[in-house]
Amino acid sequence: MARSLTTYLDDLRDSRVWRSIFRSGPGQSNLHRALVVQSNVFLHLFSVKARKRVLDFSVTWYLGALTFGAFLILVITGVLLMLYYHPSVPLAYSDMKDLEFVVSSGVFLRNLHRWSAHAMVLLVFAHLAKVFYRGAYRPPREFNWVIGVVLLLLTLFLSYTGYLLPWDQLAFWAVTVGSNIASAVPLLGHHIRFLMLGGNLVNANALLRFYVLHCMILPLAAILFIAIHFWRIRKDGGLYAGAPTTTAEKEAER
């Protein structure tokens, strides 16, 4: 069975359609593997090779990859939630209740979105701390550190804008408090609050603005900066490994 399956897959990879899409063709050589990465629009952001040592769990705890995983879950569940949610004052809260009690699997998707959002904030902080304490922010990676800080802010803004959307008491007062914190900015504070809420009160305009920010502007910005973040890892010489410590590592990297 296994034999026939691999033969089938090999035939598929050798087919004209497959080869028109994936130009690297069949093969197991290092050159072939490098071509697979280089000729794929998503994979080419990454290095074609990495030191075996940096792929150990202890080096990164896979925190960046886990954060990206949480982001992917959030995009998928978020798009599905959008199909049942209207960003309007009379409907927002009841749509959220419908998702919890009426829509099939709605409570699962909503909770998955909510918990992944919490997880993403935690993971981003953990990733930042891990990078900081390993010293992986140092040159030549200082620009990627800055991109990472931008991504931290985008994560927090995504979290904050999403918090208003259920339109319950918690959401309303959290955004009231948050927008008043924004108005503490010297000179421009009240303008910032006015633009943020689209008015003087947390009301229909604020709900719509937060919805557009949460579902369009901030995710697009996050995707752009994530792409730059990943690409810069390759450009800055791969994941930060530090100096080899054991003789075996030194031997392997000679």
Nearer to other proteins, 63 or 197 (CB): 197
Nearer to other proteins, 201 or 248 (CB): 201
Q: Smallest distance from the beta carbon of 90 to other proteins, in angstroms?
A: 14
Nearer to other proteins, 38 or 200 (CB): 200
Q: Smallest distance from the beta carbon of 209 to other proteins, in angstroms?
A: 9
CA distance 146 to 126: 16
Chain residues that interact with other proteins, rule: CB under 8 A? 173, 176-177, 179-181, 194-195, 198-201, 203-205
Q: Smallest distance from the beta carbon of 201 to other proteins, in angstroms?
A: 6
Q: Smallest distance from the beta carbon of 184 to other proteins, in angstroms?
A: 9
Token code pair at residue 226: 């994530």
What phi, psi does 145 have (nearest 5°)? -65, -45
Nearest to 160, CA basis, from 110, 112, 218, 200: 218
Nearer to other proteins, 8 or 173 (CB): 173
Nearer to other proteins, 5 or 187 (CB): 187
CA distance 136 to 201: 44
Give the CA radius of gyration of the chain: 23
Separation in Å, CA 202 to CA 97, 180, 246:
21, 11, 59
Nearest to 222, CA basis, from 75, 59, 87, 119: 75
Q: Smallest distance from the beta carbon of 28 to other proteins, in angstroms?
A: 47
